[in-house]
Amino acid sequence: MVNVGILGATGMVGQRFIQLLENHPKFEIKALTASQRSAGKKYQDAVTWHLDTPIPESVEDIVVVDTDPGLVKDVEIVFSALPASNAAVVEPKFAEAGMKVASNASAMRMEPDVPLVIPEVNPEHLDLIEIQQKRRGWDGFIVTNPNCSTIALVLTLKPIYDQYDVNRVYVSTMQAVSGAGYNGVPSMAILDNMVPFIGEEEEKMEEETLYLLGDFDGETVEPASFGLSTSCHRVPVVDGHTEAVFMEMDEDFELEDIKKSMQEFQAIPQKLDLFSAPKNPIIVREEDNRPQPRMDRMREKGMAVTVGRLRQDASFPRSLKYVLLGHNTIRGAAGASILNAELIAEIM
């Protein structure tokens, strides 16, 4: 068993880390950190637990410590659910102290020597770790996963992008409130309502997507160059981000071939049979009215993305439209970091 810790363990994503790591076959939680206010308390007393399964007994009595590498002992991997501003300062300290940091925070994602990875999409970017350690003189390192909306999108783009010349992509999201954290969206803002804006979300989606699908020469990433434009919206859904995708290709294609590529898409996590890897990263549904958040978000324990409404426009002959759904705090956050760590534990 590998000893792991969770940085920022009391927030929404921190709770998901704990939930997903319960009964994990390789990772055992040994340390939990939070803000000073919580330090010194047992986890069950420090947290306001918001998930619909109980707090795992194995972590109830762990005493929460301040987010300081000197206080996190005998731990090989730390999962970071820290807020971005905090992560920028603290994650490097953990890497310097020799720990492997699998981070869900956005702070370090676009650093040129920090891998931004979806295991099914760009595992080769992990080669940046060696460069990172050399350049920064760290024994440990930082690996990041993308934003929740980006992950679900890129997983569905990958099998298409690998086989076709993509010209332009437009994406309109309908995102769940859990993405903003427990207190992020007041009920007054969202009951019988929706909000057509999520701070910095469009910028992250556009930059990260092209970066993840970019070319990597072993040292630097050259972002993909197709046009990409997003519009991000918050809707009254608890968990599960839905995205409407419009694409145009630079070549002819058959819709059935696209569908088959998605359904058959598998990559390293599936080949290595990693514990958190979905058997099929993309589930394609034929019904008109799917995917739906409440119905589909938990497929493959929340680690698969469900795609539906694959279709073409009569007026755009090389166009492709579909709707996708991914669980934003599992596949899009805690589960993403854990899958990164599982891949690293297996291949490094």
Rule CB under 8 A: choose which of 95, 118, 155, 235 binds a second copy: 235
Rule CB under 8 A: choose which of 227, 250, 264, 347 binds a second copy: 227
Closest separation between CB of residue 317 and a second copy, Å? 10
x-or-dash string of contact with a second copy, 125-154, rule CB under 8 A: ------------------------------
Q: What is the DSSP letter of 63?
A: B
Closest separation between CB of residue 249 and a second copy, Å? 14
Q: Is 64 exposed, middle or buried (0-12, 13-18, 19+ CB in 10 A)?
A: buried
Dihedral class, residue 38 (left if φ above 0, else alpha if ψ from -120 to 50, else beta):
alpha
Pick between residue 142 and residue 237 the one whose CB is nearest to a second copy.
237
Residue with tokens 């309109």: 172
- Per-residue burial over 230-242, b if 16 or more Cβ lie within 10 Å, else e, is bebebbbbebbbb
Instruction: Check binding of 284 to a second copy (CB under 8 A).
Output: no
Pick between residue 188 and residue 273 the one whose CB is nearest to a second copy.
188
Catalytic residue among 125, 148, 232, 327: 148
- Number of Cβ within 10 Å of residue 183's Cβ equals 8
Q: Is 232 a catalytic residue?
A: no
Instruction: Check binding of 44 to a second copy (CB under 8 A).
Output: no
Rounded distance between C-alpha atoms, residue 320 and residue 313, angstroms? 7
Rounded distance between C-alpha atoms, residue 184 and residue 171, angstroms? 23
Instruction: Check binding of 244 to a second copy (CB under 8 A).
Output: yes
Rule CB under 8 A: choose which of 35, 172, 263, 266 binds a second copy: 172
Q: Is 148 a catalytic residue?
A: yes
- The interface with a second copy within residues 176-195 (CB under 8 A) comprises 177-178, 182-195
Closest separation between CB of residue 178 and a second copy, Å? 6
Residue with tokens 């927030």: 11
Rounded distance between C-alpha atoms, residue 311 and residue 313, angstroms? 7
Helix (H, G, I), strand (E, B) or coil at 332: helix
Instruction: Check binding of 341 to a second copy (CB under 8 A).
Output: no
Instruction: Check binding of 298 to a second copy (CB under 8 A).
Output: yes
Residue of 213, 113, 126 lying closest to 169 (CA atoms): 213
8 Å CB contact between 60 and 83? no
Q: Which residues bind a second copy (CB under 8 A)?
A: 12, 50, 52-54, 168, 170, 172, 174, 177-178, 182-197, 199, 206, 227-229, 231, 233, 235-238, 242, 244, 246, 288-299, 308-309, 313, 315-316, 319, 321, 323
Return the active site residues.
148, 241
